[in-house]
Amino acid sequence: MSVRAQHVPGEPRLSDVARLAGVSIATASRALSGARAVTPELGRRVLEAADALAYTVNPHARSLAGGLTAVLGLMVYEIDDPYFAEIAGGVIAGAAEQGWSVQVSHQDRTPASDLAGARLLRGQRVGAIVIAGSGYRDAAMNTMLNAELEAYAASGGRLVAIGHRDLDCHAVLPDNVGAGRAVAEHLVALGHRRIGVVAGPERMTTVQDRSRGIAEVAAAARIDDVAWEHAAFTRDGGRAATARLLEARNDLTAIIALNDTMAIGALSVLRERGVAVPQAVSVTGVDDVQVAQDLAPALTTVRLPMASMGRRAAGLALRAERGAAQVVEVGFELVVRASTAPPA
């Protein structure tokens, strides 16, 4: 059976699609939402009918009817941070391929803000949530947020995490331990032994994982005096941590920033103080945001596929089939540029 183009007075409704396809309104609704309960033949008929009538799903009407909307909620930290901007771009592209829109909820790296964002998205009745950014290795901090997200998933919402979180859900996991190990191995291979690290808050899983990779390399190389400074996981945090490092240690030959945004802050402090990079101090980052190659000097860093991570997270969230939580691990690539050299 094929469906011919039809003209319906006024805006076509779901009932018009159901009538033309010869199915119930409930079946038409399930077919248009991608539910597996609908057979391929019925699904094809409903889609052909919708196309013939130029019918588009009204997500607000679906929400008022008590269901979830065809909107994906994306929780990110600092949307102006290139790392999250690239992830968001991937999520938006992946959602668009499935006919979904994206609503972005901006958080400020605190459990209270995460909880408020999750509750906001649940209140908006989004059909899926992708939560990006680091979790916390602190059970008390995670308890309320995880309860909120698990209740959302239990009510039919689709949930995906980017990065390590104490949640039973689909996840896209970058190799942060390997990324930290890669930059440390690069510096050690160049001959550096007096190394400082500018890092984000210690409680964050991303910081702990990347720090672990660095610590493993330092231990293997018998380097026992790595200098650590923690600050906000931002450009200003990178500036503050670098300033404290330079005040505490005037013998450092290399600085590892645990993300590129902190590395940008580190480079700005070194430039202001007249410290030549890499002649006097080498600098590395992690992530390989787009601007990293345009810095002066261009930044040596570890490339994580942020846009691909976002697209894959959207794909996990919006795929039709349900089932056990799936974990997608993504790799990295060391990108050596002009900000590193052997110590003088």
Owning domain of residue 45 = 14-57
Q: Yes or no: say if 317 and 128 are a contact pair by the CB < 8 Å rule.
A: yes
Whole-prediction pTM: 0.79
107 and 147 in a single domain? The answer is yes
143 and 100 in a single domain? The answer is yes
102 to 121, 148, 167: CA distances (angstroms): 11, 20, 22
The rounded distance, in Å, linking the Cα atoms of 283 and 300 is 7
108 and 250 in a single domain? The answer is no
302: three-class secondary structure by DSSP:
strand
The rounded distance, in Å, linking the Cα atoms of 241 and 272 is 15
333: part of which helix (H) or strand (E)? strand 333-335
208 and 151 in a single domain? The answer is no
Q: Which two tokens stand for residue 28?
A: 């038409």
CATH code for position 99: 3.40.50.2300
CA atoms within 13 A on the CB side of 160: 27
The rounded distance, in Å, linking the Cα atoms of 187 and 291 is 22
Answer whether residue 299 is part of any domain: yes
292 and 181 in a single domain? The answer is yes
Answer whether residue 4 is part of any domain: no
- Nearest alpha-carbon partner for 206 in 292, 118, 132: 132
Answer whether residue 270 is part of any domain: yes
Q: Yes or no: say if 341 and 278 are a contact pair by the CB < 8 Å rule.
A: yes
226 and 274 in a single domain? The answer is yes
228 and 167 in a single domain? The answer is no
Answer whether residue 64 is part of any domain: no
189 and 295 in a single domain? The answer is yes
Task: Name the DSSP letter for residue 27.
Answer: H
Answer whether residue 133 is part of any domain: yes
Mean pLDDT per 10-residue interval, the chain, length 344 residues: 50 83 81 67 83 69 59 89 93 92 86 83 91 79 81 87 85 96 98 98 93 98 96 96 97 98 98 98 97 96 97 89 83 98 96
Say what the pLDDT of residue 9 is. Answer: 54
Answer whether residue 1 is part of any domain: no
Task: Name the DSSP letter for residue 86.
Answer: H
185 and 264 in a single domain? The answer is yes
Answer whether residue 210 is part of any domain: yes
Domain count, the chain: 3
157 and 186 in a single domain? The answer is no
Answer whether residue 9 is part of any domain: no
230 and 163 in a single domain? The answer is no
Say what the pLDDT of residue 134 is. Answer: 79
205 and 120 in a single domain? The answer is no
The set of residues, in sequence order, having a beta carbon less than 8 Å from that of 140 and lying 6+ positions away, is: none
Say what the pLDDT of residue 193 is. Answer: 97
Q: What strands lie across the sheet with 254-257, from one edge to the other? A: 227-230, 195-199, 254-257, 282-284
- Nearest alpha-carbon partner for 2 in 36, 35, 51, 39: 51
